[in-house]
Amino acid sequence: MSKDAVNPNHYKNHPSGVECIDITEHMNFNVGNAVKYIWRAGSKGDELKEIEDLQKARWYLDREIKRLRYGNIEKLEIERTEGE
């Protein structure tokens, strides 16, 4: 069986039968990516990969919170460098 690099099984194996992209395409980039990583967490049978996926989801959620709080990421990056 060949692997599908574009649409791998860990995005299609949800018990509901729904594919991840059918949900995330209605979200903004950061939230959609967070959901994607949460969706696939644990589906590879490797606890370290599961933790990594959850950390990636958290990174995108933190980025979205910053975007909402500051209006845009560029402003946040400027403030961060000025504070150093």
Domain boundaries of the chain, sorted by first residue = 9-82
| Model pTM score | 0.73
**Please, are residues 30 and 60 in contact by the beta-carbon 8 Å criterion?**
yes
Cβ–Cβ under 8 Å, residues 41 and 4: no
For the chain, give the percent of residues with pLDDT over 90.
52
- Asked whether residue 5 carries a pLDDT value surpassing 80, the answer given is no
Q: How far is the C-alpha of 62 from the C-alpha of 73, rounded, in Å?
A: 11
Q: What integer is the mean pLDDT of 34-63?
A: 94
73 three-state secondary structure: helix
pLDDT of residue 1 exceeding 50, the answer is no
The string of pLDDT tens digits covering residues 8-38 is 677 777 788 889 999 999 999 999 999 999 9
